[in-house]
A and B are shown apart, each in its own frame.
Chain A
Amino acid sequence: MEWDWNFVWEIMPTLIQGVKITILATLLGSVLAAIVGLGIALARRSPNRALSRTVGFLAEFIRGTPLLVQLYFIFYVLPDIGILLPPLVAGVIGLGLHYGTYTAEVYRAGIENVPRGQWEAAKACNLNARQTWTHIIIPQAIPPMIPALANYFIAMFKETPLLSAITVLELMNQAKSVANTYYRYIEPITLVGAFFLAISLCSVVLLRRLERRYGKIER
């Protein structure tokens, strides 16, 4: 089979539609992952042993099992207990929870990277816990986290094709349906690869910039 440029132009609008959903899912998933990760990191630091252990185990469990199976679980099993989610919402929740367990590690490393002396200094200045966090710890912990977080968001972007398995009409799904309609696989799937390569190369350039600006986190 030959590469057909006319066909490429014909299917382009459909694929662009898919790219939009892919990017939307990545953005929403990233926001959720950032929040979930913070929650996990804080819960693991909690003096309440039961809470920190439980959250720790759940995070390990989510990180040790495939995202695809988790998506199936959210999309197919939860309706059994009365929680019916639209595909995109289920997908975003899956991405957010899965990557939240990774971003939790970033937060943990970021917080631990703030030298002990800063905590002691805050105490010496008679700051309470809230003031210590908002004025001393967080402003120093966040900047080095940014590149590491971005790294995981790029990884998440590359996992969004999994959402096609739970019927989200993102890039991969659009390409597959186009391919099945015209019985041509070369152009749609190659284009999907090209889109991913293009977007992730751009985001890698952005990541390098973030790293130069904020420094790399030591883990």
Chain B
Amino acid sequence: MTQWSGYFGLILQGALVTIELTLMGSVLALFMAFLAGMGRLSRFFVLRALATVYIEFFRGTSIFVQLFFAYFVLPFAGISLTPLQAGVLALGLNVGAYAAEVVRGAIQSIGREQYEACTALNLGRLQGMRHVILPQALLVMLPTFGNNAIELLKATAVVSLISLTDLTFQAQVVRAQTGNTMVPFTTILIIYFILALLISWGVRSLERRMARGLDGVRV
């Protein structure tokens, strides 16, 4: 009889690593998304160009290749990263590029009249952004951000290939030690699904909270 409780502990440890990666990757992705998304809307050509190159590059190449590049090639350039650092970097930068387009789209979806109102109230560009445009745009971004976060969660499985001990990696360990494939893989599939459900539930309740007080403002 196999000692399933011990193996289940191993899987739970993996789940913690997956959650940690997802959270850290999401924070980096959010940061990059606003940086690059705003960059694309900048008045300055250089900023626009930089943001566009970043977005096209990271959306154009596979996350898998980016991860391997960060882990295997960067050390030759003198930048040694731990698997966790490489994982967070690749996930955050990749998903950040997708989310940057969401930020840009949401800001552009805010009507002209809102910008005109800012001008009429004599708000500066930053003030208008901060108090008028972003509060409305954030609400538009949220559902897609939720999808992006789920994509990021799913992409974390790839880091098992650079020896990070996440859910998928631990399932492989359990498989190697017990010879049973069905149980570990089914378990982690269910855990991933629950995590994805948690994200979409969290985003939806956040959306409800943020929508408060904005009734009638949105078209």
Contact = CB atoms under 8 A, between A and B. Distances in A.
A71 to B, nearest CB: 10
B61 A200 contact: yes
A81 to B, nearest CB: 8
A69 B65 contact: no
A179 B196 contact: no
B54 interface: no
Interface stretch (B69-77, B107-115, B121-129, B210-218): B69-77
Nearest to A64: B196
B41 interface: no
Contacts of B160: 68
Given A76-B175, A185-B76, A172 B154 contact: no
B80 interface: no
A67 interface: yes
Nearest to A162: B64
Interface string A180-205: 00000110011011001100110010
A196 B62 contact: yes
A90 to B, nearest CB: 13
Given A66-B156, A68-B158, A197 B72 contact: no
A204 B55 CA distance: 13
Interface in B166-219: 167-168, 171-172, 175, 181-182, 185-186, 188-189, 192-193, 196-197
Contacts of A65: 154, 189, 192-193, 196
B63 A158 contact: yes
Nearest to B180: A80
B38 to A, nearest CB: 23
A1 B158 contact: no
Contact of B69 (A69, A80, A159, A190): A190
A72 interface: yes
B81 interface: no
B8 interface: no
B142 interface: no
A48 B207 CA distance: 33
Contacts of A200: 59-61
B31 to A, nearest CB: 23
B181 A76 contact: yes
B45 interface: no
Contacts of A192: 65, 68
Q: How large is the interface on B (under 10, 10 to 19, 20 to 34, 35 or more residues)?
A: 35 or more
Nearest to A76: B181
B57 A197 contact: yes
Contacts of A189: 65, 68-69, 72-73
B150 A193 contact: no
A172 B181 CA distance: 25
Contacts of A61: 189, 193
26 contacts: A1-B76, A65-B154, A65-B189, A66-B156, A67-B157, A68-B157, A68-B158, A69-B171, A70-B189, A72-B172, A73-B189, A77-B186, A80-B182, A158-B62, A158-B64, A159-B64, A161-B64, A161-B65, A172-B62, A172-B68, A179-B72, A190-B73, A192-B68, A193-B66, A196-B61, A200-B60
Which 10 residue pairs across A and B have the least CB separation, nearest first? A64-B196, A66-B157, A161-B64, A66-B154, A158-B62, A68-B157, A65-B192, A185-B72, A76-B181, A200-B60
Interface of B: 56-57, 59-66, 68-69, 72-73, 76, 150, 153-158, 160-161, 167-168, 171-172, 175, 181-182, 185-186, 188-189, 192-193, 196-197
Interface of A: 1, 61, 64-70, 72-73, 76-77, 80, 158-162, 165, 172, 176, 179, 185-186, 189-190, 192-193, 196-197, 200-201, 204
Given A65-B193, A159-B64, A196-B65, 5 more contacts: A66-B153, A69-B185, A69-B188, A186-B73, A186-B76
